[in-house]
A and B are shown apart, each in its own frame.
Chain A
Amino acid sequence: MTDTPVLSVRNLVVEIPTRHGVLRPVDNVSYDIRAGEILGVVGESGAGKSMTGNAVVGLLDRPARITSGEILLSGQPIHTLKGEALRRLRGKKMGMIFQDPLTSLNPLLTVGDQLTETILEHLGVSQQQARERAVAALEEVGIPAARSRIDSYPHEFSGGMRQRVVIALALCAEPDLIIADEPTTALDVSVQAQIVALLKRLCRERGVAVMLVTHDMGVIAEAADRVAVMYAGRLAELGPVREVLTEARHPYTSGLMASTPLASQGHERLRQIPGAMPRLGNLPDGCAFHPRCEFAQDRCRQNPGPTLDTCDGRAACWFPLGADRKQEVGA
Chain B
Amino acid sequence: MLAYIIRRVFQSVLVLLVVGLVAFAMFRFVGDPVDNMLGQERTQADIERLREQLGLDQPFIVQYWRFLEQAAQGNFGLSYRQGRPVAEILIERLPATLELAFVSGLLALFGGIALGIFTAIRRRGVSANVIMTVSLIGVSLPTFLIGILLIYVFSVELGWLPSFGRGEVTRIGGWTTGFLTESGLKALILPAITLGLYQMTLIMRLVRTEMLEVLRMDYIRFARARGIREKSINFRHALKNTLVPVITITGLQLGSIIAFAIITETVFQWPGVGLLFINAIQFVDIPVMAAYLMMISVMFVGINLIVDMLYFAIDPRLRVDRTAGGH
Question: Does residue A79 face the partner (Cβ distance < 8 Å to B)?
Answer: no
Most buried by A among B219, B228, B230: B219
Question: Does residue A90 face the partner (Cβ distance < 8 Å to B)?
Answer: yes
Point out the residues of chain A lying under 8 angstroms from B241, CB to CB.
106-108
Query: B227, A98: Cβ atoms under 8 Å?
Result: no
Question: Does residue A130 face the partner (Cβ distance < 8 Å to B)?
Answer: no
Query: A107, B219: Cβ atoms under 8 Å?
Result: yes
Point out the residues of chain B lying under 8 angstroms from A88, CB to CB.
227
Query: B320, A155: Cβ atoms under 8 Å?
Result: yes
Which B residues lie at the A interface, using CB under 8 A? 217-219, 221-230, 232, 236-237, 240-241, 244, 314-317, 320, 324
Q: Pick from B219, B225, B314: contact of A90, CB below 8 A.
A: B225
Query: A121, B225: Cβ atoms under 8 Å?
Result: no
Q: Pick from A103, A155, A156, A173: contact of B226, CB below 8 A.
A: A173
Query: B227, A121: Cβ atoms under 8 Å?
Result: yes
A-B contact pairs, 29 of them (CB 8 A): A57-B225, A87-B229, A88-B227, A89-B227, A90-B226, A91-B225, A92-B227, A95-B226, A96-B225, A98-B222, A103-B217, A103-B219, A106-B219, A106-B223, A107-B315, A107-B317, A108-B241, A108-B316, A114-B223, A117-B232, A118-B227, A153-B316, A153-B317, A155-B316, A155-B324, A156-B320, A170-B225, A173-B226, A173-B227
Query: B226, A169: Cβ atoms under 8 Å?
Result: yes
| CB within 8 Å for A95 and B223 given contacts A106-B237, A117-B232, A155-B320 | no
Query: A103, B218: Cβ atoms under 8 Å?
Result: yes
Point out the residues of chain B lying under 8 angstroms from A118, CB to CB.
226-228
Question: Does residue A166 face the partner (Cβ distance < 8 Å to B)?
Answer: yes
Q: How far is the CB of B56 from chain A (nearest CB, A)?
A: 57
Q: How far is the CB of A319 from chain B (nearest CB, A)?
A: 40
Q: How far is the CB of A97 from chain B (nearest CB, A)?
A: 8
A-B pair count, CB < 8 Å, reads 82
Quick one: which of A68-123 are within 8 Å of B by CB? Answer: 87-92, 95-96, 98, 100, 103-109, 114, 117-118, 121-122
What CA separation (Å) do A109 and B221 show in the bound complex? Answer: 15
User: Which residue of chain A lies nearest to B222 when distances are taken between CB atoms in the complex?
Assistant: A104
Query: A95, B316: Cβ atoms under 8 Å?
Result: no
Query: A90, B224: Cβ atoms under 8 Å?
Result: yes
What CA separation (Å) do A239 and B229 show in the bound complex? Answer: 38
Q: Pick from A91, A100, A106: contact of B227, CB below 8 A.
A: A91
| CB within 8 Å for A59 and B324 given contacts A95-B226, A121-B228 | no
What CA separation (Å) do A155 and B326 show in the bound complex? Answer: 13
Q: How far is the CB of B229 from chain A (nearest CB, A)?
A: 7
Query: A122, B227: Cβ atoms under 8 Å?
Result: yes
Point out the residues of chain B lying under 8 angstroms from A57, CB to CB.
225
Q: How far is the CB of B326 from chain A (nearest CB, A)?
A: 10
